[in-house]
Every structure is written in C-alpha cells, then in structure tokens.
Amino acid sequence: MDVVKKIVKYGADEICLKDMAGIGRPVMLGELVGKIKKKYPGIKVQYHGHSGPGFAMASMLEVARAGADYIDVAMEPLSWGMVHPDVISVQAMLKDAGFMVPEIDM
C-alpha cells in the first residue's frame, strides 16, 4: 500500500497489478485490491496475471470479488501456457460466482 499511496499522490487514476510470472497468491492479491478500493474508491484496478504456475484463475476470482475493475484474459489459441487464462473459462467462472459478465459473441 505504500507504493499505491505514492502513485496516487503522483496523480495515477488507475493501477494495474502486473503478475507477469503468475506467482501472485490469490488471497494476498484479493486483500490488496480490497485495500486499494476501500482507501481509493475512485481508482480503477486492473489485474494482469499469467497462467504459468497455475494461480491465475483463482487470483482472478479473488480480485474480482475484491472489486477489481478489469481482468486481462486471452483467447484461444493464444491463451494458457505462459499467457493469460482463456476468456471463455474466465467468463464461465465469474458467471458461476454470480458476477454479471457480458456474453461472448462467438
């Protein structure tokens, strides 16, 4: 939160949590997003997590529950592996968790 405080002071109106290695732990990321949204409700929060180690799907659910505004996804054939989870899987997971997400025009 010290870094967040500094960048908000510098004028940031959006924060992207970049987890390029995909090692961010879901609960910690959810707690961080929750703290950011509570202290700075006008700040948009984006989560950018890669699939590699396997935490990304759980992390996306946790940050969504904590109020993240954007979640980066990919589409087949570019998803999974070392990239983002697939948009269809993320959409299904969020719908199942009760989120209102747009339909995908296949």
Mean pLDDT across 56-84: 95
Q: Measured between alpha carbons, how far is 42 from 58 in angstroms, rounded to an integer?
A: 25
Name the pLDDT band for 106 (thresholds 50, 70, 90): confident
Q: Measured between alpha carbons, how far is 90 from 85 in angstroms, rounded to an integer?
A: 7
Instruction: Give the per-residue pLDDT at 64.
Output: 98
- Above 90 in pLDDT, residue 105? no
Residue 32 near residue 40 (C-beta atoms within 8 A): no
pTM over 0.85: yes
Instruction: Give the per-residue pLDDT at 76.
Output: 87
